[in-house]
Amino acid sequence: MPIRQFQAQRMHAPRDFQSIANLPICVEIGAGKGKHALLFTEQNPEHQLIAIERTREKFLAMQKQHSIEGQSNLQPIHADALPWVVHALYPKQVQQFFILYPNPEPHNPAQRWLNMPFFEFLISRLQSNGSITLASNIPEYIEEAEQQLKKIWNLPYEKQVIAKDSARTHFEVKYLERGELCQQLIITKPESYQTRFDDFQPLQGQNAQDTV
């Protein structure tokens, strides 16, 4: 189905928004209570991860656990991901995006990640040869995403079955214990890939004092 162009300039900044430096980072969207974010930053101390969660209760749980574990390379953010990404991230800044078990939006398919105009903007924030990991326990969700990657976005990807002993998120643990098939797409951005937002600077990023 055709996808209209995303209107980035119409996005209002999240409440209490703070700019970030233009340095390589990883970003998890919909981080929940932070199980994957905490695990990833512990196992990959050389990577900086920003973990975004919109739901206050889940964000506070992540923040609390982070205060206990104390990974200096993790920054939890309480915000809606779309306006935060538009206001904070620079072109080709992100090494990896993680979108693990997003809401499948059964009654509103236009809100699924690869069906949204915003997905083009997300790609513009990704480094060349960077990756987007999209995981789901719903085969139809993965199948539709594959079709969109082929027909709309023209992006290469690898489809993987997630190991039964994987435990990256609370949802993943629950689904695998039920015996459900969990799959992920590892989407890669080629060197030559272009979007209409490649020169679009963050709406408030220029105000960051520590930007390099």
Question: What predicted TM-score, i.e. pTM, was given to this entire model?
Answer: 0.93
Query: Domain residue spans in the chain?
Result: 23-190
pLDDT band at 203 (very low <50, low <70, confident <90, very high): confident
CA-wise closest residue to 5 among 192, 201, 152: 152
pLDDT of residue 42: 96
Please give the Cα distance from 123 to 81 (Å, whole number).
Answer: 14
The mean pLDDT value for 82-111 works out to 96
The CATH architecture assigned to 23-190 reads: 3-Layer(aba) Sandwich (3.40)
CA-wise closest residue to 97 among 85, 111, 105, 112: 85
In percent, the amount of the chain with pLDDT more than 90 equals 88
